[in-house]
Structure 1
Amino acid sequence: MNRLNSIALFVLLLSALVYGIIEWRTASIDQYTSVIYDRRPDFITEKLQSKIYSDLGQLTHTVAAARMEHYDDLEISYFEAPNYTLYPQKDALPWQVSAREATLYKDKRVELKNQVHIQATQSDSLIKEIHCKKIILDLTTNIISSEQPVVVVGKDFTMYGSGLIIDLNTKQMTLTQHERTIYKRHDES
């Protein structure tokens, strides 16, 4: 009976420790989120439509969003339902990136979250679209990265993995961890 009580006490303490760690991590995430929600935005834009140009006058990207809130003191902008169109260098065809929400930081880095969808506009592109939960988009370099699980849908294949780096200027994609690829079979008639 004494040994059974010791095991029960150990399991109880281990459970309490795991619960405490989970609560602590969740509290730190919620604290950052609550900082945004506790503050009032400096301005709000509904049905945002914006075009951004380089110093040389070339269109670099456009953004449309259902709503944007800008927080000047935090140096961030929060978007609801953002849709970015990215124009790579060297007159390549644009890419479209959408999500349910995004945060733009002062260093021109955008964190897109929840139902992220990346789509090529080039009809003969090997990669047609990419789906994941979260990405980081660097608007200065046109590099997209994610450490999340991703699904890459291409011409006649679907690839599953995690960890992704895409350079839209060079059209190079790196998948950090490949899980599997399913190829579409072409039946000859």
Structure 2
Amino acid sequence: MNRTTLAICAFFGLALVLYWQVQVKRNAMALVVDTRIERPDFVADDLRTTEFNKLGLVESKMSAKHMEHYAKTHTTLFTEPVLMLYPQNGKAKWQITAQNAMLEQLTNQVSLHNDVIIDAIDIEEPLQSLETQQVTFNLETMIGHSEEPVIIKGNGFLIKGLGLFADLNVEEITLLSQVEGTYEPH
């Protein structure tokens, strides 16, 4: 063999060894799991769930397009949730929809985010719908609050304000500030 052939063989051999080392390192990096990223303990699509109180009465119903539960942090994330709330008398009065929600099991609070709409089930209810970008409800007390702008629509009236306090058991909703409204008598 001449020197040129030997140099070409050595060059390709070196290239093969370097390629092999890169592949070994790439495969080793693919196996490394980042422990800082929490993975859901379980995931569900097209979820439907019903929660009962101590007396066996329905307390809430929730459906969602997608759900992820994280046991370590005791939180559950929902995509496109629909929440039906049943105050103390046991009849569904409110349906809440949003783009996202997070349920914290330790505090039994659900926070709904992005295009939150609270609709009355009964068409005779004076308050028909409420719109905001974020609201948090305690599922035990049925008390909710928000710091975001709120629009309330009802039979013959429209009210806008900033911030919200709602007690669904006694059917009271209070706008906290900057309240403006219009009323159209029938």
Separation of aligned partners in 1, 2:104 and 2:158: 32
Q: Report the counterpart of residue 162 of structure 1 in structure 2.
A: 162
What code does the residue aligned with 2:179 have? E
User: What per-residue deviation string (whole Å, max 9, x for no partner) do you get for residues 115-134 of structure 1?
Assistant: 00001112211110000000
1:178 is displaced (CA, Å) by: 3.6
Equivalent position SS for 1:38:
coil
Aligned residue pairs, count: 150
Structure ID, larger Rg: 2
Q: Report the counterpart of residue 54 of structure 2 in structure 1.
A: 55
User: What per-residue deviation string (whole Å, max 9, x for no partner) do you get for residues 111-155 of structure 1?
Assistant: 100000001112211110000000001101111111110000011
Going from structure 1 to structure 2, the CA distance change for 1:91 and 1:54 (only over 3 Å counts) comes to closer
Q: Report the counterpart of residue 153 of structure 2 in structure 1.
A: 153
Where does structure 1 differ by over 6 angstroms across 4 or more consecutive aligned residues? Answer: none
1:168 is displaced (CA, Å) by: 0.8
Q: Report the counterpart of residue 179 of structure 1 in structure 2.
A: 179
1:172 is displaced (CA, Å) by: 1.0
How does 1:6-155 map onto structure 2 within 5 Å?
38-106=37-105, 107-155=107-155
What code does the residue aligned with 2:95 have? Q
Going from structure 1 to structure 2, the CA distance change for 1:96 and 1:143 (only over 3 Å counts) comes to same
Q: TM-score, normalised by structure 1?
A: 0.76
Deviates more, 1:54-63 or 1:173-182: 173-182
Does the Cα contact within 8 Å between 2:51 and 2:60 map onto a contact in 1? yes
Q: Report the counterpart of residue 9 of structure 2 in structure 1.
A: none
Cα root mean square deviation, aligned: 1.4
Identity of aligned residues (%): 32
Name stretches of at least 5 consecutive residues in structure 1 with no aligned partner.
Answer: 1-36
What code does the residue aligned with 2:177 have? Q
What code does the residue aligned with 1:71 have? Y
Does the Cα contact within 8 Å between 2:112 and 2:135 map onto a contact in 1? yes
Separation of aligned partners in 2, 1:117 and 1:159: 15
Going from structure 1 to structure 2, the CA distance change for 1:42 and 1:93 (only over 3 Å counts) comes to closer
Does the Cα contact within 8 Å between 2:149 and 2:162 map onto a contact in 1? yes
